[in-house]
Structure 1
């Protein structure tokens, strides 16, 4: 999928697009009766049985390369890229890429997993919808699946998907071939993208912006299913990190990406951050300050009552977060991000904005990093005299610099970049610990009269004692960072 195949927003809106979405099997049963489908139907639905089999060598050589050999019910085979190639541009919802015809050696491959079900084609004017429903099967396991593929002009496909938001269509976190492989092995599908985006292959500002958006949307989609009670804290933590990196990308590219659509997308990210915040804060408190206080003080019933009340708040925060992620707002947010990638609305701006988008990436990145480094140094002047609020501002500026430095460091590979990032991360970590303590005091204070006042005071006192240690380590980390040369100069 070429994200820059047209030169104008109008041309991109009319470009042809294919997007794939995962649907809950129960929601897929309601698709044909949905108003966005029934009102636009242009002819009878064509339905047929479908059988797919994915093959590989006994040692999984194709899967190791991110490939899968697919055979349909007529015996026709095609080689697919089930996992995106490292460094390649990626748009969530992009169907697996079909590669060259398989060689004769393919006859020696063995079946790994299979799909059986039905394929339905629905004509909707400018858009054609293809619904695949059935079961994914391996030797000892099976699971229901449903995939919706929309084909048509970019604008029409995005609009039709948005109209179906209450059915919760989301770009799948793995291809059917990869899900089948994972089912056969009894493991989770491999993530397409993880961590910060790697922009070493981007030549211009716009290429980097598109690559970062696609990467981080995929990371966020991959971690969002883990944001539920009983799944552990990592899903919330990593979803929040991906979201913060997304917002940092929008801010980093600033004037280059300025347009109303970016502002609207950023507002949606802010709303999701508001829902993620309480769940993450209670996770950190209960596993950090709360657990440490319980270990130091012992099994005092008053402290146990406080921790029990905190656990109740954590569960409430998770329920509220899950309600948002399972509602139509989350698919609309993802579609808004895809719209930015596919329609590039910033290209409707003035000529100077287009010139900035076409600027060499290294030139743009070094200027941005210089500004953020200068701002952090200025904020940290006389840091030993800073109070809690001023240290919090230093932490925020360190975080902004770290996200930008992680984003652009691959443009300057080598030890200086690794050393700078390591020292910057250490500073942010220590300042974060000090901030966690401040957050903990606010959390226990919010529990109200139902919690023994002694327990609140005990935790606040315990947290205050930890603040001094975190502050000392933060000052040491600050001195270490000042000794690291900026790698982008």
Structure 2
């Protein structure tokens, strides 16, 4: 097997830890030569109209060096990719890029490590006028497997995380007075020219970046969007890893999937309580605004939500989550798996979608009276089809798959509402002693009514879906 090409990975750390980083035992044990340190001044520029930044580019120039055009928003799906030189097709450094966004003033220390890895530590601050933002980055370059192993070992004991933005994008944000832009959000956009293996690599890198981007929002716990988007990205990622198993598989993929499942077990309760408090809980509070028993139940629910968020936050701050992000980066950079199928990704996708569509439709045209367990299983089958259908639809053009996806989404929305009701019933049941048996009884009755209405709407949406023509089978 041909070894993967050399890589350069960048990590971000607390600037307060940077002065002691190169003396850390995990780095000292790998030291292969003396440290060289020198002042470093970097400047980032754009055109006056901001057109370079709009295209994801900036001009970067080190004092004493040549200016270069860099990708502030790298297209690479590698989480830890620093700003890289622009592609030749994007042209040379434009002469009119004279609008200074920010300047980095600090030091760069270079240290050779074992196995051909070079470490560079940048520490200082981004500055623009009176505005200042401390920065510390550790950059490792060298053979892919050695860089990956070194970064992972360091991250086990040092809070090193893949950066959410390049330093060039941080400079753009400081200069524009905004927050850094997300490089990738939502579902990945696939290219029909990709191989099956390259498609999986692209999907993992994209969704790992989405997961990492929303983690700080979930950690803050002030808005439910962070947990919700992390959960969606995680489900898409697990669905993709499992969907590709007939073609691409291996112990490393299976191990990461197991750890994603562990993260899901923490995201799930936090999201369930958010949904309950924002939905059924809000309805109950609005319907019975002066009832002390219902108020007590909602207080108990908020306490459970806070506990779920605290458990999730402890995980997101810890080494397990850092190592998960680095291991996802390893999958992209080192591809430690076995490939069973290397043909066009369209052929693989069409076969997979057909199998899941047949499985979903096997239940027949009537789903309204299915027992709860079978209805729940059907909902999960629909969700699995939806994730892969959304993933692969761009291969045939989004317009072509829009109607099918809309009908599938309508079924999933109503099934999801019915499931939310079932989840809410399970959530409120243990709150009886805290919220009162009367309040939990009212909540469970309310839930049952909502669930029945959602089931009826799901049955109607199901009939429409069964009449849809799968987009991957159209001429």
TM over 0.5: yes
Query: Structure 1 21/182 Cα, relative in aligned 2: closer, same or farther at 3 Å?
Result: same
- The one of 64, 74, 79 equivalent to 1:84 is 74
Q: Which residue matches 1:283? A: 274
1:313 pairs with one of 290, 304, 308: 304
Matches within 5 A, 1:267-416: 267-347=258-338, 353-354=339-340, 356=341, 358-379=342-363, 382-413=366-397, 415-416=399-400
Q: 1:219 aligns with which of 210, 213, 218?
A: 210
Within 5 Å, give how 1:27-66 maps onto structure 2: 27-66=17-56
Say which SS state the counterpart of residue 116 (structure 1) adopts: strand
The SS at the match of 1:143 is strand
Match of 1:132 among 122, 127, 132: 122
CA–CA separation in structure 2 for the residues paired with 1:415 and 1:71? 43
Unpaired runs of 5+ residues, structure 1, are: 1-7, 348-352
| Displacement after TM superposition at 1:67 (Å) | 0.4
SS in 2 for 1:164: helix
Greater CA deviation, 99-108 or 378-387? 99-108
Distance 1:104 1:192, change over 3 A: closer
Shift of residue 335, structure 1, vs aligned partner: 1.8
The separation in 2 between residues aligned to 1:11 and 1:70, in whole angstroms, is 31
Give the distance between the partners of 1:249 and 1:215, measured in 2 at CA: 12
Q: Report the TM-score, using the length of structure 2 for normalisation.
A: 0.94
Q: Aligned-pair distance for 1:107?
A: 5.3
Q: Compared with structure 1, are the counterparts of its residues 102 and 452 closer, same or farther at alpha carbon in structure 2 (3 Å cutoff)?
A: same
SS in 1 for 2:245: helix
Tell me which stretches of 4 or more aligned residues in structure 1 moved more than 6 Å. Answer: none
C-alpha displacement of 1:427: 0.7
The structural deviation recorded for 1:186 is 2.8
Q: What SS does the aligned partner of 2:111 have?
A: strand
1:245 and 1:113, CA in 2 relative to 1: closer, same or farther beyond 3 A? Answer: same
Contact map agreement 2:68 2:93 (CA 8 A) in 1: no
8 Å Cα contact 2:365-2:462 kept in structure 1: no
Which residue in 2 is equivalent to 1:93?
A: 80
1: CA distance, partners of 2:249 / 2:432: 43
Kept after mapping to 1: 8 A contact 2:35/2:112: yes
The alpha-carbon distance between structure 1 residues 481 and 396, as it changes in their structure 2 partners (threshold 3 A), is same
Q: 1:273 to 1:430 in 2, by over 3 A?
A: same
1:109 pairs with 2:98: yes
Alignment: residue pair count:
469
Q: What is the Cα-based RMSD across aligned positions, in Å? A: 1.8
User: What residue is the counterpart of 1:171 in the other structure?
Assistant: 162
**Is contact 1:416-1:486 (8 Å) kept?**
no
Question: How far did 1:329 drift?
Answer: 0.5
**Alpha carbons 2:119, 2:139 under 8 Å: kept:** yes
Compute the TM-score of the two structures, normalised by the length of structure 1: 0.92
What is the CA deviation profile of residues 160-209 of structure 1, one whole-angstrom value per residue up to 9, with x for unaligned ones? Answer: 11111232222211111111211232322111111111112443211211
